[in-house]
Structures are given as C-alpha cells and as structure tokens.
Amino acid sequence: MKRFALSALGFVMLAACQPQVPDSGQGVGFESYSSYLARRDGQTGLAPAAQGLGTIAPAAVSSQPLSAMAPATGERPRAETFAGIQQQSGERVHYSGGNSTGISDEQNFDAVASRESIQSDAARIQQNRANYVVVQPTALPTRTGASGPNIVAFAVSTSHAPGTQVYSRSSLFRKNYEAACGQFPSADAAQEAFLSNGGPQRDKLGVDPDGDGFACGWDPRPFRAR
C-alpha cells in the first residue's frame, strides 16, 4: 500500500513538471481572432461588426403595364454617337410627291394625265412620224477574193442523201481515199477543191470514191436546212 502511494505521488509530480500545451486554434504566439476583434474595437472605439451575411431587400416591382413605362416620345432610344459623326434616325423615309431622276412614270395614269393632254399626245405622235425613217433594201455585195465554186449553192441543188451513188466512178484510177482527204484542213475545203477540179461528174482528186458527189464525207444537209 505504501509502495502504491509513492508511485501515485511520483506521477502527480511528473505531470506538474510538463509544459502547458498551447491552443491549436490560436496558433503559436497568436491570440484568438475573437480576442483580436474585441481588442481592436476597444482601441478604435467602433462597435463590433455584425457577424454573418446580411439579407438583401428585394427590389420593388412596378405594377404598371409596359406601355406606361415606354418613353413619352415616339422616338426609339438610341446609343450615343461618336463625335464628328452625324446621328441618323435609321428609319425609312417615305417621300410624297415628286419623281426620282431617271425613273419613268409613264405607267402612272394620274401623273401622265396631270401634264399631258389630247393635243400634246397628237403633237408627239406627229413628231414621231416625222422622225420615222424607212430603210430600203439594197443589193447584196459581191464576193471579193477567190471566185471558186459555192458549196452552199451546190448543197441546195441536191436532194439525195450522202452515200447514195449518183455518179459513176472507175476503180482503175481510184486513189488512196484517206491520203487524198488528208491534204485538206476540212471537209468544206475538200468539197470546194472537188468541185473546182471537175466534180461531181469527175473525181480527179480521188476524194469521192462512192460517187455521191460529196468529197471526204462532206454533208450537205445542214446547208439545205437553212
């Protein structure tokens, strides 16, 4: 029993020697925030500030209709313009009366009736008749340059289809058809040369082996349709 009492006394003395643990909420070397506010208010003489968030009073809502809140004038509110720039309304302007330059109002009966009369219309018709000029037809100009055969006149004078033999051809004097036609830039040029060298009765150039009278596949039908 005596030994237990001595042990308890030793624990009490050991606890008395331990340093006091500081308050973790204050921080080492600092006082609490509430103590700081109280000390600051005491030095400045101000009343302690209310803690927490205050409530915001709702804004008053007008019970008047929207038409009563509109501006008194008929103009729309517009933003401020920069200095040196003329402010325009931006609305479409309707002009009454008058006539825009370059636009005819001949289809407007009221406008024409206000400035024209029967006498003025008669004078205008008479003036138009005086200015009317009839151009008389003249003779066609003569062709200049080469006076070769006219392939258009030849096409109109024929009526048979291409490939139909009309003229006799001899196989003894038949030339290379492709080589003969390759000398001409077009079928029209080949037909002109063919007619200039005795065609269509004779085929000296070897460009009409089938005897239809049309050289190198020349087609007269487009000229007949004119």
Give pLDDT tens digits for 109-125: 888 888 888 898 899 99
At residue 38, the pLDDT reads 81
Q: What is each CA distance from 107 to 98, 121, 167, 203, in whole angstroms?
A: 15, 15, 68, 69
* DSSP element (H, E) containing 155: helix 151-157
Phi, psi torsion values for 39, nearest 5 degrees: -70, -40
For residue 212, pLDDT beyond 90: yes
At residue 102, the pLDDT reads 66
More confident residue, 172 or 184: 184
Name the percent of the chain lying above pLDDT 70.
57
Please state the rounded mean pLDDT for residues 131-152: 80
Domain ranges of the chain: 160-224
Give pLDDT tens digits for 149-171: 899 999 999 999 999 999 998 87
C-alpha–C-alpha distance, residues 222 and 226, integer Å = 7
At residue 33, the pLDDT reads 76
Give this prediction's pTM: 0.38
Give the pLDDT band (50/70/90) at residue 72: low
